[in-house]
Copies of this chain bind each other. A is one copy, B any other.
Amino acid sequence: MKRDAQVQWDALAQSKATRLARATHVTQGKLVDAQKMTSLLEAVLEPGDRVCIEGNNQKHADFLSAALAKVNPQAVHDLHIVQSNIALPQHLDIFEKGIARKLDFSYSGPQGVRMAQLIDADKVKVGAIHTYLELYGRYFCDLTPRVCFIAAQSADRDGNLYTGPNTEDTPAVVEATAFKNGIVIAQVNELVERVPRVDVPADWVNFVVRAPKPHYIEPIFTRDPAAITEIQILMAMMVIKGIYAEYGVTRLNHGIGFDTAAIELLLPTYAENLGLRGKICTHMSVNPCPTLIPAIESGFVQSIHSAGSELGMEAYVAARPDIFFTGPDGSLRSNRVFCQLAGHYSDLFIGSTLQVDMQGNSSTATKSRMTGFGGAPNFGCDSRARRHTSDAWLKAGREASSSSAHAMPRGRKLVVQMVETFGEKMQPTFVERLDAWDLMHKFDLALPPVMVYGDDVTHIVTEEGIANLLLCRDEAEREQAIRGVSGFTAAGLARDERMVETLRARGAIRRPEDMGINPLHATRDLLAARSIKDLVRWSGGLYDPPKRFRNW
C-alpha cells in the first residue's frame, strides 16, 4: 500500500490563491476598473490555461474578449479556449496573435471562413466541434476551465449577478469554473445597489468589471414574415397536416429559419381551421421568437422554455408569464442547459439544413467554412435515454418497428428536415455526397462533420412532398424515398420512378394532394402576420423590434 507523502492535492487552490494575490496590485476587492482589465488578465492568466469565454449564440462577453486580445503574448500565450460560439473578430484575433492556440467550440457562424484560414495557417488547433450540451458536459469532465469570462446585465457590490433575460450558458460556465478552484470574471452593463434578482450568487464570482458599453447581443431569432415565400407556406401546411396533426405533436422544438417561422404563422389560421388548437404545439423548447406571438395570442402555444432571449421581446415576455419562465423581476429566465434537455426529450424537432445526402445525413458545413451545429444535433436525434411514452413517440416507434419478432418495442423521436430542393443561389440541397467529406479531408478531422445523422431523421419535407423514412424497410427504400422528394435536383432526377410510386402507394412518400392540400391555397393570405408590424400589432404593442427590422 504505497502512498506518497509529497503528493499535493490542492495545486489548483494554491495556484488560484497565487493568481488572486497577483491581482491585488491591479484591483481592490472584486471590482475592477475597465481600463485595468488587460492588466488584470495578465496578472491572473498563465500560459497554457484553459479559458472559457462566454460566447453563447446571443450574449457575448465581448469586452473581456477584447481585453484578452490586448494582453502581452510574451506573458500570456498558448491558451486553450473553450467557447460555445465563435462570433466576433476578437475571438479569432487572440489566435492570430498567439495568445491562444487550441480551441474547443460548438459553433462559428460568421467567423467560419476566417477560422478555416487560421486552421490552414496552423494558428488554430481545433480540439473538437461539439453540440452545446456536450461541451458543457465536458466542462465537468476533461475540459474544466481555469478561468472564465462571462457577461451579465448588472452586479451589486458583493458580486451577485443579474443576467436579465439572457441567462443562457452563464450558470453552466460559472459552476464548472468556480467549483474547481477556477477564476470567474464577469463583465456587467451596470453596477447597482441591489440586483433585481440573483442569477449567479456572489460567492461564485471573483471579479466584476463594468464594461464601457453593454455586452454584445445578437437578435438571431427574428424572422420578418414579409420574407416568407409561398413555397415555405406550402411546406408548412404539409408539416401541420401531414406530421403535427397525424402524430399529435404537442411538445417540440423549432429551428430558427423562415421555414419554421411559416409554420408558426399558420397555427392561428390554417391549423385553427383544421381544429388543431390545444392538440398540437402546446409546449415548446425555443427562444421567444417574434413569429410565435400570433400562436401564443391565439391560445395555441401554452408553455415555452427558452435557451436565451430575443431582442425586442422583453416587454412581451414580461406580460405573458403564464407562457414563459420568468423571474420575480418580470424578465425571462432562460437557461440553455434546461432548454436543450427539455427539447432533447420532447417529441419532435424540425429544422432546416444546407445539404442532405441519399442516406438522409445532413450538414450545414460547406467547403470553405469551419462551422458547427450548436444545438441542432441534440434536439435532432433520437434520445435513447428516453423512457416515458407519448402518443406521438409511440406511433413513430410503431412505424419504425422492424419485422423481427424478437425486437424490443420502443418509441422514436420525430426528427424532421424541412428544406426546399434548391437552396440559396440555386444550389441543390440534395446531393450524392456531402461537402462534409471534403471538409474532413481538408481539416484532417476523424469524421465528416454531420449535423443530423440519417438514421435519426424520420421525415424530410420539401415542396414536392414528405418522405417518411420510418416506413422505409431498407437502405434502398430510404434512398428512393429521399430521391422521391428531391425535385429537379440531379439526385431527384435519378430516382427509380417505379419504386417511388410503390413508396407513395404505401405512404412513405406523400404529395400535397395525398394529404388533401391544394398547392394553390398556399398563399401569403394564410399567414397570421405578414410583416414585423403585424407582429407588433398582435402583441398589443408589447413587441419592440430592433431598428433594423423596422421599415415604417
Measured CB to CB, the residues of A under 8 A from B are: 1-3, 7-13, 104, 127-131, 133-134, 136-142, 144, 160, 171-172, 175-176, 178-181, 197-199, 201-204, 250-251, 282-283, 285, 294, 297-299, 303, 305, 319-323, 325-328, 333, 335, 337-339, 341-346, 358-359, 361, 373, 377-378, 381-389, 394, 404, 406-411, 446-450, 453-454, 456, 475, 528, 534, 537-538, 540
Q: A134-B345, A475-B404 are in contact. Are A377 and B381 (CB under 8 A)?
A: no
- A386–B131 contact, CB under 8 A? yes
**Known A134-B385, A410-B453; further 16 A-B contacts with Cβ < 8 A:** A3-B538, A9-B320, A9-B321, A131-B387, A134-B387, A137-B342, A137-B344, A141-B283, A141-B303, A142-B283, A181-B321, A198-B201, A198-B203, A203-B327, A359-B407, A408-B448
| Chain B residues within an 8 Å CB radius of A198 | 198, 201-204
Q: A201-B198, A454-B408, A475-B404 are in contact. Are A385 and B394 (CB under 8 A)?
A: no
A137 to B137, CA, bound (A): 16
Chain A interface, DSSP helix/strand/loop, else mixed: loop
Q: A326-B179, A338-B136 are in contact. Are A447 and B202 (CB under 8 A)?
A: no
A382 to B453, CA, bound (A): 13
19 contacting pairs across A/B (C-beta < 8 A): A3-B298, A9-B319, A9-B321, A10-B322, A133-B341, A134-B386, A137-B345, A140-B305, A140-B338, A175-B338, A197-B201, A198-B202, A198-B204, A203-B327, A203-B328, A383-B384, A387-B449, A389-B447, A406-B475
Most chain-B Cβ atoms within 10 A of its Cβ — which of A11, A203, A450, A454?
A: A203
- B389–A338 contact, CB under 8 A? no
Q: A1-B528, A197-B203, A283-B141 are in contact. Are A387 and B408 (CB under 8 A)?
A: no
- B137–A335 contact, CB under 8 A? no
- B140–A339 contact, CB under 8 A? yes
- A141–B382 contact, CB under 8 A? no
- B138–A342 contact, CB under 8 A? yes
Query: Please, which residue of chain B has its CB at the minimum distance from the CB of A142?
Result: B283
